[in-house]
Amino acid sequence: MERRRFIKQAGAAIAVAGAGGGLLAACASPTSNQENDQTSENPETNTTMENNEVIAHYVLFWLNDGLSEQEINDFANFFEELKTIPEIKSLHYGRAAATHARDVVDNSFTYNLLVFFDSLDEINVYETHPTHLAAIEKYSKFWNKVVVHDSVVKQAVV
């Protein structure tokens, strides 16, 4: 069951990453607080996730000009700190890929982050989690622009 869940998550990560312009991923071990094959209902928000849907939290970071390559590499510790938040199903991050220039490709960002959650409740907890807020406070001095895309994505079974 764990292997099947990992394969599903990896397929979803590849599908979302492909749509996002490329992802060099350093992957955390996938974890889940609930089985992937269940429907999650939240009576407070009246939100139901289908059994093959997850929340994808995709973030692009543009780091400040003038940072050394070491400082840019050290910024990855931001993502490593986020990995400890229990609501995260899986977390992937990386630098912009050196893909071919095309009108539809934007590789101007420095880092991207892709996090999956099983429910809206979990991403809501993540947004205000003390570890998340502390990491933002600690590392926000490194970036000059951040763009967030949150989506409900279907996990395609291959």
pLDDT digits (tens, 9 = 90+) for 122-142: 999 999 999 999 999 999 999
Could you read off the pLDDT of 43-83 as tens digits, one per residue?
Answer: 444 455 667 899 999 999 999 999 999 999 999 999 999 99
**CA proximity to 92, closest of 84, 83, 101:** 83
Whole-model pTM: value is 0.68
Residues 6+ apart with CB under 8 A from 114: 13, 16, 17, 20, 23, 25, 56, 57, 58, 59, 91, 92, 93
Q: Identify residue 51 by its one-letter amino acid code.
A: N
Per-domain residue ranges of the chain: 2-34+48-154
Which amino acid type is present at position 6?
F
**Domain 2-34+48-154 belongs in CATH node 3.30.70.100:** yes
